[in-house]
Amino acid sequence: MTEQVAGRRVVTNLALSLDGRYAAPDNPLGMSWVMPYAVSDVARDHLTSLWEPATTALLGRVNAEGFLGFWTTVIGTEGADPRDEGFARWLVDTDKVVLSSTLDEAPWERATIVDKPAAEVVGDLKATEGGDILVLSSASVIKALPASDKVDRLALTIFPVFLGGGPRLFADGLPAGQRTLVSQAAGEHGTLALVYDRVR
């Protein structure tokens, strides 16, 4: 049966290629392979379903810089999809925890810099009041959490492209465990949005 999570739920979200990569081999920070599919209805609706119940965003430094640099420009942009603008406003207004060993203070509003292991930070956040803790596309953070069984909900968007190389999300040696599919959607170009909950 699906685990009944006491307190706050940790939700991780990441886009993957069909061959299981989250970044291209020649440009780890490049998002050009994602963009044709990220603007599909299924991808936008998927992200909306994740951020609406969340009250905290958890990001790595590199992803925070990219996300907060881009999404703030979407607010008020003529012709912006309402789902994109809704996410942008949520990201600006919600509490953000950014994992970094190099930043001393946050250059963003409502953001806290923490230099601790991801699993420890998640444990601290789960002990507080609030909604879901959403880990947004930060592979370095997401990869650190399954080893300590800290992910309650795993959300993936699968884009129909082979990158032919690059880093994979899951390494060997993770604890064995089962997940149950709680939602699935297929959309334009063969994009898939999948959500799995931890089973005990």
8 Å CB contact between 125 and 97: yes
Tokens of 59: 């990001």
Residue 45's SS3 state is: helix
In whole angstroms, give the CA distance from residue 21 to residue 159.
10
Report pLDDT digits (tens) over 59-107. Answer: 999 889 888 888 999 999 999 999 999 999 999 999 999 999 998 888 8
Of 137, 136, 135, nearest in space to 126 by CA: 135
8 Å CB contact between 4 and 129: no
Tokens of 87: 């996410």
8 Å CB contact between 191 and 159: yes
171 vs 115, more confident: 115
Find how far residue 191's CA is from the centre of its chain.
17
In whole angstroms, give the CA distance from residue 58 to residue 125.
10
- 81: which residues sit within 8 A by CB, 6+ positions away? 39, 44
pLDDT band of residue 5 (cuts 50, 70, 90) is low
Domain 10-199 has CATH 2.60.120.260: no
Is the dihedral angle over the CA atoms 185, 191, 195, 196 positive or is it negative?
Answer: positive
Give me the pLDDT at residue 1, please.
44
Report pLDDT digits (tens) over 118-176. Answer: 999 999 999 999 999 999 988 889 988 888 888 999 999 999 999 999 998 887 777 78
Tokens of 146: 């399954």
Kindly provide the b/e burial profile for residues 176-199, where b requires at least 16 CB atoms within 10 angstroms of the residue's own CB. eeebeeeeebebeeebbbbbbbbe
8 Å CB contact between 40 and 192: no
At residue 51, what is the residue type?
Answer: W
